[in-house]
Amino acid sequence: MEGRSAPALTDAPEEVLAILPAGWRLDEGPALDLDETIESEEAPPLPLPNASVRLTWSRSGFTAIADSWAEWIVEMGRLLTDDGVALVGLAGRERFERLAGEAWDDSRIGMTVLDAMEESPRAAVFHSEWWLRSHWGRAFARVELLERDGLRHALLSEPVDGVTAEELERPVGEDGREVAAALGNVRYLRSQVDLRAKRHRHQLAGLREEADRELMRRSFAEADLEWAQRGAGSPATLAAAAYEATTSWRLTRPLRALGAMVRRFR
């Protein structure tokens, strides 16, 4: 930790305090916002003493941490006082269903990591309640799930001494949901890969169509140069007009426009 500057301790903002149940309000004492530290990819431990913080929170950091989450959970436990709490924002069910294309099934979601697609360059990480209690519950004696206004948070308190990141990551051997969640994650990711491939095929088809049109326009333009002195009735201009007047061209024009619009939104 030598040479590193300690993150600033501050008062907890009202929007964070408002999420806490009434019995957990901590209006006094140092507080730490972990989001900026997590997103800067700085590794724990932080240059802060043990049990130096009464409240720490991360509103979005753990929705994108796929690898170092256990180290940060251990670090939160190290920093908290015995009467302190940690508040962690969790990714919502609606976002999971949008990315996975399937309904949320708690029994098949442990810690599920998905591609965030166009929403973000980082991963999208989702947690089920049973998984949080099984894993984060090894570092905190109390793990509570809060859902308000469509937002999910985990409230962690009573840190357990001596817990390691390796212990937090270890699967619960007798719980079949661990295997089901791992297999489900593979299936969700495969589905996302297939969806990306389908989108790329649509994009390539659109680019190919535009390239064909551009080649046709250029060939007509080159032919028109040879007939420049003959006005608008050159063979190339007449051929293009005749083509666009055909029944097939007119009937398929709405479909081409719809296809282009769909490709923009997929």
Establish if 216 belongs to a structural domain: yes
Domain boundary pick from 170, 186, 220? 170
Contacts 24+ apart (CB under 8 A), 141-147: 144/21, 146/19, 146/21
Q: Is residue 11 within 8 Å of 31, Cβ to Cβ?
A: yes
Number of structural domains (the chain) is: 2
Q: How far apart are CA 172 and CA 178, in angstroms?
A: 7
Judgement on whether residues 147 and 232 belong to the same structural domain of the protein: no
| Predicted local distance difference test score (pLDDT) of residue 137 | 97
Whole-model pTM: value is 0.73
Contacts 24+ apart (CB under 8 A), 36-43: 36/7, 37/7, 38/62, 38/65, 38/72, 42/4, 43/68, 43/71
| Predicted local distance difference test score (pLDDT) of residue 144 | 94
Q: How far apart are CA 181 and CA 36, in angstroms?
A: 30
CATH code of residue 147: 3.40.50.150
Establish if 175 belongs to a structural domain: no
10-residue averages of pLDDT along the chain (266 residues): 66 83 69 86 89 92 93 96 94 93 91 89 94 96 90 95 96 86 91 77 73 74 64 58 54 51 47
Q: Is residue 78 within 8 Å of 46, Cβ to Cβ?
A: no
| Predicted local distance difference test score (pLDDT) of residue 258 | 45
Q: Is residue 156 within 8 Å of 88, Cβ to Cβ?
A: yes
Judgement on whether residues 67 and 130 belong to the same structural domain of the protein: yes
Which domain range does residue 68 map to?
14-170
Judgement on whether residues 261 and 132 belong to the same structural domain of the protein: no
| Predicted local distance difference test score (pLDDT) of residue 265 | 43
Judgement on whether residues 212 and 121 belong to the same structural domain of the protein: no
Establish if 5 belongs to a structural domain: no
| Predicted local distance difference test score (pLDDT) of residue 262 | 43
Q: Which residues pair with 156 in a beta bridge?
A: 86, 143
Q: How far apart are CA 105 and CA 30, in angstroms?
A: 38
Judgement on whether residues 97 and 217 belong to the same structural domain of the protein: no
Establish if 9 belongs to a structural domain: no
pLDDT in tens, 74-131: 999 999 999 899 999 999 999 999 999 899 999 889 999 999 888 888 899 999 999 9
Q: Which two tokens stand for residue 247?
A: 């029944």
Establish if 129 belongs to a structural domain: yes
Judgement on whether residues 44 and 166 belong to the same structural domain of the protein: yes
Q: How far apart are CA 146 and CA 19, in angstroms?
A: 8
Judgement on whether residues 102 and 210 belong to the same structural domain of the protein: no
**What is the 8-class DSSP label of residue 139?**
T
Residue 158 Ramachandran class (φ > 0 left, ψ -120 to 50 alpha, else beta)? left
Judgement on whether residues 219 and 162 belong to the same structural domain of the protein: no
Establish if 83 belongs to a structural domain: yes
Judgement on whether residues 202 and 100 belong to the same structural domain of the protein: no
Establish if 59 belongs to a structural domain: yes
R_g over Cα of the chain: 28
Judgement on whether residues 127 and 214 belong to the same structural domain of the protein: no
Q: How far apart are CA 229 and CA 155, in angstroms?
A: 80
Closest alpha carbon to 30 in 57, 11, 58: 11
| Predicted local distance difference test score (pLDDT) of residue 242 | 59
Judgement on whether residues 140 and 225 belong to the same structural domain of the protein: no
Average pLDDT across the chain, whole number? 82
Find the length of the chain: 266
